[in-house]
């Protein structure tokens, strides 16, 4: 027996035998953004393996979609990415319109841009605030929610709901904006613009924040593409891709005439359309800091887009138009369309068989692909880095489990 111990080089080296420990992070853990469960294999504070377990929020949403008409499924899309329900509505509505070869008027187009970009701001605000929470600072979360509340107030006025809107629908939107709404929206933007500087001061350029995020969870360009990452996660790794510019013409047509620059680091620099804080020296392209920074830039970018769409929407004199009937018959055929949701590319697939009920409904969510890189990023990091990395991916479980 003693020979065995003597022969084991580890025991001689360390004197004490250390064991790895399996730890469950979630599904009831404060920083896993809902019901994600991560099984960590740790050696002391160092994580050697991370395995995400999903499925705690599965609601058979896709199967339900095969039993109701496309417009009836709109409320279910609300519950996919519940932080950006408008963008989910939009993705599904566009997919069904693609299948039915049904276009919408100019006014509806600008309304959709306006609403979708406003929801992108709200979603990124949550992402930003929750990321602060993951890193242990509470106040930015409430500052972000304070502003998000104002966006929700606007949405409430437009459609009556604050979280699950079902507002953008097949063939347009359920209702036109009430009078005076545009002024309120502009007032919000004017008030919100200077506040972004505070966020940068509290988080983006904060020394401790930079220390916690710089060089942590570096996702290389190749790996990001291999794993099918999209949205800010992909752009944070320096890949210049944005569905609003590079997607299908049906979707990019929505943004025809809009001026925006994709928030991505090109040739070592970010877009210069506004004054942003400079990139700290210690950050590495593809790390948590860059993913966070891309989101912050997209907030400003979306604000520009909202301003542009307000002008264009206000210039449209024709009525909004009626959405499609609930039981409109679908043509035989299939359609797939990817849109740029705040979290990444949101794809919907629909197969029609001549009835009003689709034969197949599928959704492809960005959070699912983005989450799949965690085991690569978390290899060899510290426990404290796990929330930092998972938080920087900004996942929403409703979208992953569907």
Partner 1 sequence: MADFLIGLGLPGWLAWSIAALVAAILLLNVIAGGALVFIWAERKIAARIQDRLGPTRTGGRFGWLQSLADGIKLLAKEDLMPEGADGLLFRLAPYVSFCASFCAFIALPFAFDVVGQRLNVGVFFVVAVLGLEVFGVILAGYASASKWSLFGAMREAAQVVSYEVPLGMCVVVPVMLAGTMDLVTIAEKQSGWMSNWYLFHDPFTFVIFWIYVTCAVASVNRAPFDLAEAESELVAGFHTEYSGLRWSFFFMAEYGSMFLVSALAAVLFLGGWNGPVPVAQLVGLSEGTGDSAAYFVRLLGLANLIGKATFGVLLMMWVRWTLPRLRIDQVMTTCLKYCTPIAAVMFAGAMFWQLFLPGGLLPGWSRPAGEIREGWLEGPGGLPATSAPAVVRSAGVAAAEPSDSSGLAKRSPR
Query: Binding residues for partner 1, per CB under 8 A?
Result: 21, 23, 29-31, 44-45, 132-139, 142-143, 146, 202-203, 206, 208-209, 211-212, 382-387
Strand-strand pairing, 168-169 and 46-53: unpaired
Q: Pick from 49, 84, 108: which is nearest to 165 by CA?
A: 84
Q: Pick from 226, 214, 221, 262: which is nearest to 238 by CA?
A: 221
Query: Which CB atom, from 23 or from 326, has the smaller least distance to partner 1?
Result: 23
**Minimum distance, C-beta of residue 136 to partner 1, in the bound complex (Å):** 3
**Minimum distance, C-beta of residue 181 to partner 1, in the bound complex (Å):** 25
Query: Which CB atom, from 25 or from 83, has the smaller least distance to partner 1?
Result: 25
Residue 256's contacts (CB-CB under 8 Å, 6 or more residues apart) are none
Query: Which CB atom, from 146 or from 360, has the smaller least distance to partner 1?
Result: 146
**Minimum distance, C-beta of residue 2 to partner 1, in the bound complex (Å):** 30
Q: Where are the beta strands (DSSP E) in 44-106?
A: 46-53
Paired tokens of 337: 């369309």
Query: Which CB atom, from 262 or from 296, has the smaller least distance to partner 1?
Result: 296
Query: Which CB atom, from 165 or from 293, has the smaller least distance to partner 1?
Result: 293
Q: Pick from 171, 24, 22: which is nearest to 92 by CA?
A: 171
**Minimum distance, C-beta of residue 36 to partner 1, in the bound complex (Å):** 13
**Minimum distance, C-beta of residue 142 to partner 1, in the bound complex (Å):** 4
Cα 329 from chain centre? 32
Place of tokens 């990001």: 224
Distance CA 402, CA 393 (A): 18
**Minimum distance, C-beta of residue 210 to partner 1, in the bound complex (Å):** 10
Q: Give the DSSP letter of residue 178.
A: P
Query: Which CB atom, from 163 or from 195, has the smaller least distance to partner 1?
Result: 195
Query: Which CB atom, from 223 or from 284, has the smaller least distance to partner 1?
Result: 284
Q: Pick from 119, 82, 11: which is nearest to 400 by CA?
A: 82
CA distances from 211 to 170, 275, 283, 307 (A): 46, 23, 9, 35
Helices (H) and strands (E) in the chain, counts: 19, 8
Distance CA 31, CA 34 (A): 8
Query: Which CB atom, from 139 or from 355, has the smaller least distance to partner 1?
Result: 139
Paired tokens of 324: 């499609």
**Minimum distance, C-beta of residue 145 to partner 1, in the bound complex (Å):** 10
């Amino acid at each position: 027996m003693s020979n065995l111990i003597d022969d084991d080089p580890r025991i001689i080296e360390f004197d004490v035998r250390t064991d790895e420990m399996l730890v469950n992070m979630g599904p009831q853990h404060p920083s896993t953004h809902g019901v994600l469960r991560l099984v960590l294999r740790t050696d002391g504070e160092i994580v050697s393996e991370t395995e995400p377990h999903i499925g705690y929020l599965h609601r058979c949403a896709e199967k339900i979609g095969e039993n109701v008409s496309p417009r009836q499924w709109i409320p279910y899309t609300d519950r996919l990415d519940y932080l950006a329900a408008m963008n989910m509505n939009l993705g599904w509505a566009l997919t069904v319109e693609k299948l039915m070869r049904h276009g919408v008027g100019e006014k509806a187009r600008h309304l959709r841009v306006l609403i979708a970009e406003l929801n992108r701001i709200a979603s990124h605000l949550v992402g930003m605030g929750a990321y602060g929470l993951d890193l242990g600072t509470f106040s930015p979360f409430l500052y972000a929610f304070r502003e998000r509340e104002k966006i929700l107030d606007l949405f409430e006025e437009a459609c009556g709901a604050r979280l699950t809107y079902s507002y953008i629908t097949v063939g347009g939107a359920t209702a036109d904006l009430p009078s005076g709404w545009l002024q309120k929206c502009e007032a919000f933007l004017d008030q919100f613009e200077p506040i972004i500087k505070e966020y940068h001061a509290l988080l983006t350029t904060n020394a401790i924040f930079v220390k916690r995020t710089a060089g942590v969870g570096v996702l290389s360009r190749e790996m990001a593409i291999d794993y099918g990452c999209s949205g800010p996660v992909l752009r944070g790794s320096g890949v210049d891709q944005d569905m609003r510019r590079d997607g299908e013409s049906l979707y990019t047509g929505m943004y025809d005439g809009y001026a925006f620059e994709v928030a991505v680091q090109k040739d070592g620099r970010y877009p210069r359309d506004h004054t942003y804080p400079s990139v700290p020296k210690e950050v590495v392209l593809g790390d948590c800091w860059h993913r966070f920074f891309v989101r912050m830039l997209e907030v400003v970018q979306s604000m520009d887009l909202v301003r542009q769409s307000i002008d264009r929407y206000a210039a449209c004199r024709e009525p909004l138009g009626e959405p499609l009937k609930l039981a409109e018959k679908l043509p035989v055929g299939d359609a797939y369309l990817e849109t740029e949701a705040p979290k990444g590319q949101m794809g919907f697939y629909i197969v029609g068989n001549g009835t009003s009920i689709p034969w197949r409904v599928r959704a492809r969510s960005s959070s699912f692909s983005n989450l799949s890189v965690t085991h690569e990023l978390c290899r060899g990091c510290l426990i404290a880095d796990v929330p930092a990395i998972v938080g920087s991916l900004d996942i929403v479980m409703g979208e992953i489990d569907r």
